[in-house]
Amino acid sequence: MKTTPKRAVRSCPICGKPRSADHAPFCSTRCKDRDLVQWLQDGYAIPGEPADIPSGREDDGADEDF
């Protein structure tokens, strides 16, 4: 009889507690919110060359009717 391998129990990436199905991949709303704040405050970064961000917006005249 074949048995399927058990999945490794993964923990919350913020505090290390067991994950909650309601808040996956986190354990609670608190850890979920802490992760969101990290993203919003540039606490996380994707490695690589910085993107070229234009300093000003080119006006194409599309908003003239508003």
- Does residue 37 or residue 7 have the better pLDDT? 37
- Give the pLDDT confidence score for residue 11 in this predicted structure: 96
44 is in an annotated binding site: no
**Residue 3: which pLDDT band, with cuts at 50, 70 and 90?**
confident
d(CA 37, CA 39): 5
Q: What is the pLDDT of residues 30-42, one digit of tens each?
A: 999 999 999 999 8
d(CA 43, CA 28): 20
54 is in an annotated binding site: no
Tokens of 7: 């999945």
pTM of the complete model:
0.59
17 is in an annotated binding site: no
H, E, C per residue of the chain: CCCCCCCCCCECCCCCCECCCCCCCCCCHHHHHHHHHHHHCCCCCCCCCCCCCCCCCCCCCCCCCC
12 is in an annotated binding site: yes
